[in-house]
């Protein structure tokens, strides 16, 4: 008989660090949960070919993300900032959701209450079919006028950088949240309520180094909710997790989903 433990041993690599007990525990916790929240980060898109911010490949032309995703960088040189974002946008235009995104999209049907909170700006959860995604750090496909504040979707390749507002002609910036900027109020409030109410919070593919998003994990834990981490590496909040599933989310989430299907 092929058991999870056989599979883990056979597959080696990341999965050899996850025991079948961890997976069993996660399945039991998920099967019993009514109010479930998933908080995702860049790692959930890694298997779609989207680079993460930190760790290997976390630099862009020698800049750390903190240096370029900031109002100071924008003030110093909007063109450098736009080149960074336009390079990412063009790359993102060629990628698709991976099995991890697809499972999270299916889970909006599986659980009575399911909230998907993401730090990602890539729109891949929506492309996978997730509705009502709570975007904490904005969306790379939206631009915001620095003059009148109007926002619009702009998916086309930019022939002028920075693009200009069709209403007032001022420079537009990416409608994303940079360091030192407040998170958009309504999504952050919704995420906070969901995290405080959650019986179970899955923390998927985030280093949990950036606040206030990472603070959501602590909110669930302090309120007595179960935290399950899905990440090949321990995040900064790994100690808060009751269960750690060490591996790529594009493999772990489908296995959890399959096991949940068998359990129901
Ligand atoms: C896999 C995988 C696979 C790999 N499967 N996993 C001290 C304490 C508390 C807060 C602060 C502080 N000092 C400064 C602050 C505030 C600051 C902050 O948190 N800084 C820290 C870095 C210290 N936060 C802010 O400024 C925020 N605003 C704020 O606090 O407002 C209040 C305020 C106002 C005024 C003054 C002061 C405070 C705003 C934060 C905005 C973050 N913006 C970015 C850019 C968005 C736009 C863009 O995309 O360009 O958001 S930065 C970047 O980091 C992006 C991400 O959403 C965010 C989080 O990164 P994430 O997703 O965790 O990615 P990585 O790369 O870090 O991790 C990837 C993970 O995936 C790893 O763990 C891998 O192992 C894993 N992985 N492959 C699953 N296959
Ligand atoms: Zn304008």
Task: List, for residues 185-230, the tens digit of each pLDDT value.
Answer: 999 999 999 999 999 999 999 999 999 999 999 999 999 999 999 9
Statement: residue 4 has pLDDT above 60: no
Strand partners, 63: 60
Q: Whose CA is nearest to atom 80 of ligand 1?
A: 248
Ligand 1: nearest atom to the Cα of 249: 5
How far does residue 151's CA lie from ligand 2's centre (Å)?
8
Statement: residue 16 has pLDDT above 50: no
Structure-token match 């909006």, residue found? 108
Statement: residue 10 has pLDDT above 50: no
Question: What share of residues in the chain are helix, strand, coil (percent, to 5)?
Answer: 45, 20, 40
Tell me the pLDDT band of 17, cut-offs 50, 70 and 90: low
Q: Whose CA is nearest to atom 7 of ligand 1?
A: 211
pTM over 0.85: yes
Q: What is the DSSP string of 11-57?
A: H-GGGGGS-HHHHHHHHHHHHH-SEEEEEE-GGGGGGGTPPPSSSTT
How far does residue 19's CA lie from ligand 1's centre (Å)?
29
Tell me how far apart the alpha carbons of residues 26 and 33 are, in angstroms, rounded to a whole number.
11
Tell me the pLDDT band of 261, cut-offs 50, 70 and 90: very high
Statement: residue 121 has pLDDT above 50: yes
Residue range 140-151, pLDDT digits in tens:
999 999 999 999
Structure-token match 């994303």, residue found? 176
| Active-site residue flag, 137 | yes
How far does residue 143's CA lie from ligand 2's centre (Å)?
10
Ligand nearest to the CA of 207: 1
128 lines ligand 1 (CB under 6 A): no
Q: Name the H helices within the chain.
A: 4-11, 20-32, 65-68, 71-76, 78-92, 99-110, 124-127, 185-197, 215-222, 249-263
């Amino acid at each position: 008989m092929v058991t999870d433990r056989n599979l883990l041993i056979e597959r080696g690599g990341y999965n050899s660090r996850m025991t079948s007990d961890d997976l069993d525990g996660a399945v039991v916790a998920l099967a019993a949960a009514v109010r479930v929240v998933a908080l995702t980060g860049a790692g959930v898109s890694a298997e779609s070919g989207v680079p993460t911010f930190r760790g290997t490949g976390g630099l862009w032309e020698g800049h750390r993300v903190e240096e370029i995703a900031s109002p100071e960088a924008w003030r110093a040189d909007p063109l450098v900032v736009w080149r960074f974002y336009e390079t990412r946008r063009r790359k993102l235009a060629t990628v698709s959701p991976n099995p991890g995104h697809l499972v999270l999209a299916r889970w909006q049907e599986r659980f009575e209450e399911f909230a998907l909170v993401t730090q990602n700006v890539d729109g891949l959860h929506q492309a996978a079919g997730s509705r009502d995604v709570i975007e904490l750090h904005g969306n790379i496909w939206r631009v915001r006028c620095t003059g009148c504040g109007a926002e619009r979707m702009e998916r086309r390749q930019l022939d002028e950088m920075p693009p200009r507002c069709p209403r007032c002609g001022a420079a537009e910036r990416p409608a994303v949240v940079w360091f030192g900027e407040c998170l958009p109020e309504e999504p952050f409030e919704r995420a906070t309520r969901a995290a405080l109410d959650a019986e179970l919070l899955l923390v998927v593919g985030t280093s949990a180094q950036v606040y206030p998003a990472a603070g959501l994990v602590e909110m669930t834990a302090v309120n007595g909710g179960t935290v399950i981490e899905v990440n090949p590496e321990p995040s900064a909040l790994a100690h808060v997790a009751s269960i750690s599933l060490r591996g790529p989310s594009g493999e772990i989430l489908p296995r959890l989903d399959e096991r949940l299907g068998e359990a129901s």
